Structure 1
Amino acid sequence: MALAPQAQAQKIMTLLNQRQFPAAVKAAKAAQKANPRAWQFTHLYAMALAQNGQLKEAIPLFTKVLKQQPTDLDVQNNLISTLVEAGQHTQARQLISKLLPKRQTKHDLYQVLGLSHMRCNEHAAAIEAADKALAENPENDTAHNIRGISLIGVKRMEDAIAAFEEAHRLNPQNPEPLSNMSAALSHAQRFDEAMTAVEKALQLNPRHLTALHRFAALHSKMGNLNDAVALYRKILELDPYYAEAYSELVQAQTIDENKQLFGTLKTAISKIPKNSYLQVHLNLAMGNLLFKEKSYDKAAPYLSTANALVSKRRPHDFARATSDLEKTREMFPLDKPLPKEGDTETPRPIFVLGQPRSGTTLTEMMISASDEVVSCGEQPMAGQIAQEILQGRASFDAVEFARTYREGLPSFAGDRNFFVDKMPANYQYIGFILSAFPEAPIIHIERDPRDVALSMWREFFTSAWMNFTFDMKAMAHSANLYQGYMKHWQALVGDRILNLNYADIVSDPEAASRKMADYCGLEWSEVMMAPERNTARVSTASVVQVREGVHTKSLGGWRRLEKSLKPFVEALDPDLWPDLD
Structure 2
Amino acid sequence: MNATNSTVQADDLRSRAAQQIRSNQLDAAKDTLESLIRRNPEDVPACLELADVLFKLGHMRASSAPLLQAVEHLPKNAPLLLHLIHHLIARGEVVAARNCLDFLAQAPDPPASLLVAQAHHRFTLGEIHAARALIERAIEQGADDPDDHHMHAMLLQFSGDIDEAIAVLDRCLERWPHYGDAMTVRVNLRKQTPEHNHLSHIEAQLRHLSERESSDSTKFVRAEFEYARFKVLDDLGRTEEAWPALARCNALMHELNPYDREDEQALIDAFIDTPEVVAASAPGKADFEGPVPIFIVGMPRSGTTLLDRMLSSHSQVSTAGELVEFWRQLHWVADERPATTQSMRRIIERCGEIDFREVGARYLQQTQWRAGESRFYIDKLPANMRMVAFIRRALPHAPILHMSRDPMDVCFSNYKALFGNVSSYSYDLEALAHSYRCYARLRDHWHAALPGAMMDVPYASLVGDPEATMREVLAHCGLDVESACLHPERNEAPVATPSSAQVREPIHTRGIGQWKRYAEPMQSLHDAIADLL
Structure-1-length-normalised TM-score: 0.69
Matched, 1:443 2:386: no
1:403 aligned partner, one-letter code: A
CA–CA separation in structure 1 for the residues paired with 2:464 and 2:362? 39
* Correspondence for 1:498: 455
Residue in structure 2 matched with residue 411 of structure 1 by the alignment: 369
AA paired with 1:461?
A: F
Q: What residue is the counterpart of 2:174 in the other structure? A: 237
Whether 2:481 is the aligned partner of 1:544: answer no
1:63-91 per-position Cα deviation (integer Å, ceiling 9, x unaligned): xxxxxxxxxxxxxxxxxxxxxxxxxxxxx
Query: Size of the alignment, in residue pairs?
Result: 443
What is the CA deviation profile of residues 241-290 of structure 1, one whole-angstrom value per residue up to 9, with x for unaligned ones? 11111111111123238744221121111112374121121111111111
> Superposition pairs for residues 152-171 of structure 1, below 5 Å?
none
Who is 1:390 aligned against?
344
List, as ranges, runs of 4+ consecutive aligned residues in structure 1 with deviation greater than 6 Å: 138-161, 163-169
Instruction: Give the letter for the 2:163 counterpart.
Output: N
Matching residue's letter, 2:501: V
Aligned to 2:317: 373
Instruction: Kindly provide the amino acid, as one letter, of the partner of residue 413 in structure 1.
Output: A
Paired residue secondary structure (2:396): coil
**In 1: Cα distance, 2:405 partner to 2:155 partner:** 29
Q: 3-state DSSP class of the match of 1:499?
A: strand
The SS at the match of 1:420 is strand
The residue aligned with 1:270 is: 207
Corresponding residue for residue 165 of structure 2: 228
Higher relative contact order, structure no. (Cα contacts within 8 Å, ≥ 6 residues apart): 2
Change (3 A) 1:296 1:151: farther
Aligned to 1:356: 300
Q: Is the 8 A contact 2:297 2:381 kept in 1?
A: yes
Aligned pair in 2 of structure 1 residues 258, 145: CA closer, same or farther (>3 Å)? Answer: farther
Larger Rg: 1
Structure-1 residue corresponding to 2:246: 303
Deviation at 1:299, TM superposition (A): 1.1
Query: 1:292–1:335: structure 2 CA closer, same or farther, 3 Å change rule?
Result: closer
The answer (yes or no) to whether the contact 1:376–1:413 under 8 Å persists in 2 is yes
Residue deviations 1:324-353 (CA, integer Å, cap 9, x gap)? 222222444698542647654331111111
Contact 1:142-1:167 at 8 Å conserved across structures: no
Shift of 1:157: 6.3
Which deviates more, 380-389 or 436-445? 380-389
Summarize the Cα distance change of 1:186–1:256 in structure 2 as closer, same or farther, 3 Å threshold: same
Q: Offset at 1:455?
A: 1.3
Deviating more after overlay: 317-326 vs 447-456? 317-326
Query: SS of the residue aligned with 2:451?
Result: helix
1:522 corresponding residue in structure 2: 479
Q: CA-to-partner distance for each residue in 1:22-48, whole Å, 9 max, x for gaps?
A: xxxxxxxxxxxxxxxxxxxxxxxxxxx
Q: Please say which of residues 454-463 and 507-516 is displaced more in the overlay.
A: 454-463
Q: Residue 468 of structure 1 is aligned with which of 425, 436, 442?
A: 425
1:419 offset after TM fit, Å? 0.8
How far apart are 1:424 and its partner, in Å? Answer: 0.7
SS at match of 2:498: coil
TM superposition shift of 1:206? 5.4
CA contact (8 A) 1:376 1:410 kept: no
Match 1:248 to one of 185, 203, 207 = 185
Identical residues among aligned pairs (%):
27
Contact 1:368 1:420 in 2 (8 A): yes
Superposed displacement of residue 158, structure 1: 6.9
SS at match of 1:444: strand
1:285 aligns with 2:228: yes
Q: Is the Cα–Cα contact under 8 Å of residues 207 and 238 in structure 1 kept in the other structure?
A: no
Distance in structure 2 (CA, Å) of the matches to 1:221 and 1:354: 22
TM-score, with length taken from structure 2? 0.74
Q: 1:468 to 1:334 in 2, by over 3 A?
A: closer
Q: Deviations over 1:500-546 (max 9, x none)?
A: 21011111111111111111111111110111111111111110110
